[in-house]
Amino acid sequence: MRKSGNYRLETTLIRLGGNYAPLEHHLLRNFKKYARRSVVEQDSIWHWLSVAQHYGLPTRLLDWTYSPYVALHFATANISHFDQNGAIWAVNYLKSHQLLPQRLRKKLEEEGANVFTVEMLSETVSSLNELTRLGSDDFVLFFEPPSIDDRITNQFGFFSVMPDSTRTLNSWLHKHPQLWRKIVIPGALKWEIRDKLDQANITERVLFPGLDGLSSWLKRQYSPKTEK
């Protein structure tokens, strides 16, 4: 995951503020109500959450990428923040999954998998309430979304989810310091990193296929470049 140097790992649901926890059910219920049914492969909570997160609905999911280059892109894409440090959060999801409740660990072992798919989760946990009831200890679960479009595929994206929608991932990670590290990107190095990423074709035009990605790429390329 890529963020600014002092960014907390809060979900878009948490960032709503106020009494946000009870709103999760209503947000997803109305998203399902008004979205076309053909936008999901299966009518499961994990398919719907993946689609909702992908299209910007506030959810308890966090976005991650397998690729350090994609993470670097998002840490250096906003040129208005080039005077600030950035950061990449790297979490060992293999070891994190060793701390899952027994039912979830067993599913991974049966499939011979390191990370869940939405199909695997649908076969194991049918609702968010059921996820909460799986164990008394807090845990974090990583899963891959369906290939909704080329954007997810090109970004090597996947999600994390916690059983308690009010918990931030920071609090869980600080209880397990051996599972993660935070790589700080000095603001003074961002121009050089950004230049090398562009040469390697790690750009908005590739990661966001379509006219919106092309426009974002051209906007950044032709924006005045001033170092602070």
pLDDT of 125: 95
How many whole angstroms separate alpha carbon 60 and alpha carbon 83? Answer: 30
Cα separation values, 154 from 98, 115, 203, 213, 214, Å: 28, 18, 11, 12, 14
Average pLDDT value over all residues in the chain: 91
Quick: pLDDT tens for 18-61: 999 999 999 999 999 888 766 666 788 999 999 999 999 999 99
pLDDT of 187: 92
Identity (one letter) of the amino acid at 64? W
Please enumerate in sequence order all residues whose Cβ is within 8 A of that of 153, keeping only pairs 6 or more positions apart, or say none: 147
Quick: pLDDT tens for 193-211: 999 999 999 999 999 999 9
Pairing of strands 141-144, 116-117: parallel
The pair of structure tokens assigned to 107 is 């599913």
Quick: pLDDT tens for 164-201: 999 999 999 999 999 999 999 999 999 999 999 999 99
Nearest partner of 76 among 164, 189, 215, judged by Cα: 189
Q: Mind giving me the DSSP string for the chain?
A: -EEETT-----TTGGG-SS-TTHHHHHHHHHHHHS-GGGSSSSSHHHHHHHHHHTT---S-EEEES-HHHHHHHHHS-GGGTTS-EEEEEE-HHHHGGGS-HHHHHHHHHHT-SSEEHHHHHHH--SHHHHHTT-SS---EEEEPP--SHHHHHTTEEEEE-S-TT--HHHHHHH-GGGEEEEEE-GGGHHHHHHHHHHTT-SHHHHSTTHHHHHHHHHHHHS-----
pLDDT of 76: 94
